[in-house]
Copies of this chain bind each other. A is one copy, B any other.
Amino acid sequence: MRTGLTIGDFSRITHLSVKMLRRYHEAGLLEPAEVDPSSGYRYYTTAQVPTAQVIHRFRELGMPVREIGRILSTPDPEARALLVAEHLRRVELQLESTRSAVATLRRLLVPTGTPVEVDLRTRPPTRAVAIGATVVRDQVVAWYDEAMTELDATLAAAGLEPSGPHGGLYDDTLFTDGHGHALVYIPVHVPASAGGRVRTVTLPAAELAVTVHHGPHDDIDVTYGVLGTYIAEQAITVSGPVHEIYVVGPRDTPDASAWRTEIGWPVFRTWAGQPSASGAAREADPVGPSEGWPRPSARG
């Protein structure tokens, strides 16, 4: 055991490929017990086998190499367990979403000629407490949960009751570019004292093409497709962020199949047509830093 195990021996024992062992060395995940300074040969010891096994499992679970490094270099077992638990939670979430993607796919492949029900409707100006931020697409759900919790707390602290269902406005660049501005809100009658990220805003009036999505949000894209198809075929010009209203949502019932989500697509801008569009009104612009609504783009 003087020189320890060569990389090949260690590979046979741990079932990690030689290539990966070298990579893990480079990345600082699994330092060989000894490296011959002249030849560069890596020598491992049997004591490193369990570490290698752990690395192997983490990689199997899709954990990025650098995160494994962070975990392995966390001395405090408590903190380490936390990091691990957090990732396992992420894995569970991913399992769930894979499961539902399978279900959605099955549904897509057996197309049911669902009749499209699209309303053209005017959204009145709506007073609401809101949180807005620029977010990345795959973090939008987590961000939504967090923001909505904060809004709930704000309302509770102020002793206010919502005057309608929760909702959100989403910049379309979220979908075209993968990141954009989003705003979630709870409608209220009286303004709340804004604290922190929470602002009191007025959603501007808008003409919306609205349809209702039933069930969990995993396949809400399909409903978006239906709505978008309708809009395009009606040759309506689209403009501005999309509006989602969680008529029945996770806050109402845990039974996802009972959820109802209204999707509203602004079909022409009412914003710039308002008096003093660029003055006081812009002050209340709920979507944030953008310069008013983007101009229409559909060529229908």
Contacts and interface: CB of A to CB of B under 8 A. Distances in A.
Contacts of A99: 95
B61 A232 contact: no
Contacts of A95: 95, 98-99
Q: How many copies does the complex hold?
A: 2
Interface in A198-235: 221-222, 224-225, 228-229, 232-233, 235
Contact of A109 (B6, B46, B54): B54
A49 B229 contact: yes
A98 B238 contact: no
Contacts of A153: none
> Is chain A's binding surface mostly helix, strand, loop or mixed?
helix
A1 B235 contact: yes
Contacts of A102: 61, 88, 91
B105 A57 contact: yes
B53 A108 contact: yes
A298 interface: yes
Interface of A: 1, 3, 5-6, 8-9, 11-18, 46, 49-50, 52-54, 56-58, 60-61, 81, 84, 88, 91, 95, 97-99, 101-102, 104-105, 108-109, 111, 172, 175-178, 221-222, 224-225, 228-229, 232-233, 235, 238, 297-300
